[in-house]
Amino acid sequence: MRILVVCLGNICRSPTAEAALCEALGDAGLAGTVQVASAGTGDWHLGEPPDPRMTAAASSMGLRLDGTSCLITQRDFATADLILVMDRSNLRDVSALAPDDAARAKIRLFREFDPDADSDEVPDPYYGGDEAFRTVVEIVRRAARGVVKYVRERMGE
């Protein structure tokens, strides 16, 4: 199974969600079974590492971010089984890129899988302070555990 996590610039939320998913999948013994990647819808930060503020917040909470920003492509719709977006704006943008209804059916809001969600969106911390970045780490970790539960159900475990 392959999961793609998507946000706007691929430097804050989606790399953090990617790391949280890898962590949760590892904890569940599914690390080798499910591949996780992240991408963005905008090209402002192509080739850049995750935002240093996001990296610092994640690191302070025991989560390691790596990789470089890239864009979602048409190929991703063919190779991903599940495309998780961070907010409704990402949902509109990614849905508009989808080549057909089958591809659109793969797209879900990441926070749908957060059992304690008070919103269906992961807030963008880019213009916020340190607390906004820490909040994103907490949110994506909760949602990641829900994604793992969903993956297990789809895999028949």
Residue 124 known to be catalytic: yes
Answer whether 37's CB lies under 8 Å from 4's CB: yes
Order of strands, edge to edge, in the sheet holding 35-40? 35-40, 2-7, 82-85, 107-109
Residue 145 known to be catalytic: no
Report the 10 Å Cβ neighbour count for 149: 15
From the candidates 12, 13, 22, 145, give the one annotated as an active-site residue.
Answer: 13
Task: Report the distance separating Cα 157 and Cα 142, nearest Å.
Answer: 20
Task: Report the distance separating Cα 29 and Cα 32, nearest Å.
Answer: 8
CA 119 to chain centre: 16
Residue 12 known to be catalytic: no
From the candidates 76, 124, 134, 141, give the one annotated as an active-site residue.
Answer: 124
Contacts for 127 with CB less than 8 Å, ≥ 6 apart: none
Task: Report the distance separating Cα 12 and Cα 28, nearest Å.
Answer: 24
Catalytic residues: 7, 13, 124
